[in-house]
Amino acid sequence: MPSRANALPIVRQIEAAGATTHRAIAAALNARGIRTARGGAWHDSTVRNLLASG
């Protein structure tokens, strides 16, 4: 379960690869098998919350 500090660099890599929406980023995280800090799947809202907390 990644913390915010661990998940953010992965999100930045996904963005650099061309994902521009929260939904696309969530899909990429889920496709990589990365879970949220609470062990759940990513959704556009969880990506938005992650990016807003910075």
- The predicted structure's pLDDT at residue 4: 76
- The predicted structure's pLDDT at residue 34: 94
Question: Over its length of 54 residues, how does the chain's per-residue pLDDT go in tens digits?
Answer: 567 788 999 999 999 999 999 999 999 999 999 999 899 999 999 999 999 986
CA-closest candidate to residue 7, choices 17, 28, 21, 23: 28
- The predicted structure's pLDDT at residue 50: 93
- The predicted structure's pLDDT at residue 54: 66
CA-closest candidate to residue 15, choices 47, 40, 53: 47
